[in-house]
Every structure is written in structure tokens, then in C-alpha cells.
Structure 1
Amino acid sequence: MAPLSNRGIDDDLSQTLKEAQSGDQLAWEKLFREYYPKVRRVVRRKMGHSMRSVYDSTDFASDVMKSLAANLGRLDFPSSEHLVAFLAQVAEQKVVDEYRRRRTLKRDVTRERRIEAASTPVQLASDEPTASQLAQANEAEAILLSQRDEIERTIIDLRRQGHDNNDIADKTGWNIRKVQRFLKRLHDSLHSGGR
């Protein structure tokens, strides 16, 4: 049989839980004031230094209290010690789950780096072609143009300037189908590796 003083606390807890379950805001505030600091202490103990630099223990403690609110109808706590043990277990599990999530290969915290005000600026990737890509393109263009007659070079130059097949046919005197076939063969030869 429980001691009388403990029984009074447990009866008070049962009453507060019932009131909170029915939506009484004051009962929730009472539960929160009583158990939130305990949950936060558990979270602080379970969080390592690396996690403390990224997360605040209040976030985990708030999540634990949300879990309590969401599942209160399905839970039964015979004493305040049982409630504290449940909250501590939920808090510990939330910290462990987050630690595991951060340690997966996709989100590995060891890959994270601080952005510091360094003397060398951070180089961002550009959509522009690199110098070697430009050199290769210029070399391919020179080879391509050297193997063509005057009209074919004109067609290539007009296409590079953005003219459509009709304009090219008008300016060169070629039939539009002949222009299309030439540009297709040229395209195919470039993409198959031949020149």
C-alpha cells in the first residue's frame, strides 16, 4: 500500500491528467510547469557536445510534451514516478533517433563544416564552361570548319548566330530539306565522336 503522502500526490496527478485530457488549459499548464524542467534535464544529459552545438534541449523537451498531449488518452500513469519515467524514456528516444538520423550517410554530421569568415572567399560552382571546355570547343570548331566548303561554313556560322533553317536556306540558296539533312548529319557526327 502506498504511503498517504504519495497517495495524495498520485490522486492529484490523476485528477490533473483527467482535466488535461478533457482540454482544461490550466491543467496542461500545471503539467507543463511540473514536468517540463525534468524532461529538459534528461534531454541535456543525453545530448552529446556535438548535438548541443546544433540543437537546443528545449526543442526536444517540447516535442516530448507534444507526444504526451497527443497520446494522453491512451496512457495511464498510476503514479508521478511512472509519468516521469515515461517522459524520460520518450526524451531519451527522441535524442537517440535524432542522433541516428544525423549519423546516416545522407546527413552525416562529420561532413558539415562551419562557414567562417576566412581570408579566402568561398568559390561557388558556375554554369559557365571551364577554360578547358572552351579550348576543346574552339579546337573542335576549327577542325569542323576546315573540313567544310564555303557554303557549309556559312550554314554553320548562320546556325551559330541563331538563324532558323528557313533563313539559312534563303541566304545560301539551298533547299530547306538539304539544310536540315546537313545540320542533322553534322549534329550526329559531333555527338558520335567523329568529325
Structure 2
Amino acid sequence: MTTTLISASHRPGSCSLQVANWIAGALGRMNIETDILDLAQIDLPFWSEEFWNEGSRELAQWMPFSERLQNSDALVIISPEWAGMVPPKLINFLLMCSRQELAYKPALLVGVSAGPSGTYPHRAVTHEQQARTIKWYFLPDHLIVRHVGAFLNPKPEQISGSRLNPDHPLNRRLELGLRILQTLAQDLKTSAAANKPESVSIWTLRSE
């Protein structure tokens, strides 16, 4: 079983990437293989209609990432909240996922905020139409890492409210969420193997 973690921030060495590494550590302790996709390090073109053409440069750039996603069993999307929105690279990345890369796979969403917010990534990514198009399954219990700086790199007086405290509610919720994610991934993998239709790009169904 492999879980792909997508760090959606554009910033190199971002807090979102640090959160991804924190989650990867938890998965490692569960003996789950991980694959981290850091969108800050991935140079993909913005989606265009050229993406529909099998011989296009845009599609050729995407295919290595498509294969990595297809080989994954579960997903964790880590997105910062920027002015109440998700980073544009994340939306562009999801537009690229039109070849059933994420179909029939469970996903845990993790919102990241430097302050007390962090709810908007969940709203932006999980709306009904997108879920139907991509065919993925979101866990109803998502995580929000608020005041991420203090949580990741606490001062001595902040240890009890940080990731370094094993009894911190986020550590407990993360462990529970990841266990549910892996159980659901195994069940969906078994079901999809028996029932998944022939692979087809969602764009082949578009209106001409």
C-alpha cells in the first residue's frame, strides 16, 4: 500500500511541506509507504486544450506524475489557506487528473493556516461536482493545522501545544484518520479491481 502526499504550497520548504513530512513520519510508523509530491518543485504547464492531444508536450510532461498517482492507493492533500483560497497550482494539478488517476481512491484533506483559520481548502477541494468528476472519496473528518508555525517548531513553553506532544489532539486525530484512510483504501482497491470500468479520460466525454 502506498499513500501519496500532495503539498500544495508554491513556496519551497513551506510549512505545508513540513506538515507533509510530519504525516509521512506517522505513516512510516504504520509501515505504509509514502510518495510526496511537492508542487513547489513540480514545473507543470497550466492546463489547456493541448492536454487532450495524445502527442502533446503538455501531456508528456504530465505522464510521469500520472503514473505515480495511478500507482498510489490513498491520498493526503495538504493545502495552505491563502486569502481564503487554495493555491492555483493545486487547482491546476487537479485539472490534470483527468485519466482516472484518483478514481476510487480515498483522500484525507489537511488545511494549513498561520493563524486561526484553515477551513477554506476543504470547501474549495471537496465540492460535489469535482468529486463526481474525479471520482475520489474524501474522508468526512479532515484535519486543520492552525498556528502552524508554533505547532511545527514550538518554543519551549509551547511544547504541550505542538506536534512534539504525543497526546496533542491533532496527533491523535491524525493517527485515527490515517488508519481509516488505509482501511478504506484496501476496501476500495479490492472493489475497484472487481468493478472498475475500462479506463477513459473524462475529457473524452466532453461536448463538442
Instruction: Pick the TM interval, shorter chain.
Output: under 0.3
Structure scoring higher RCO (CA < 8 A, sep ≥ 6) equals 2
Greater share of residues in helix = 1
Q: In terms of Rg, which structure is larger?
A: 1
TM-score normalised by L of structure 1: 0.27
Greater share of residues in strand = 2
